[in-house]
Structure 1
């Protein structure tokens, strides 16, 4: 994530997902915390390259 300048909502979402994935043991737990379906998390991970 860039520091000192504006970031896009997409960049913010990618960083948030990355941090949640780092802090959880399973993708299912990460999806639950994020409030999304595991299949949605899969698609977002693929989209963001996570």
Structure 2
């Protein structure tokens, strides 16, 4: 599954696996207009940024 489609699938499943989306109101460009990424946080305050090519 290529880039953005994979991020969309992960975004749809993140809550079921204990992750909350950060910056959802500006998904997928929270990192800027030329940066496609999904930002997540879990209950232990770990944050991850998943970047699509």
TM-score range relative to shorter protein: 0.3 to 0.5
Structure with the larger helix share: 1
- Structure with max Cα Rg: 1
Structure with the larger strand share: 2
Kindly indicate whether structure 1 or structure 2 has the higher relative contact order, using CA contacts under 8 Å at least 6 residues apart.
2
What is the TM-score normalised by the length of structure 1? 0.38
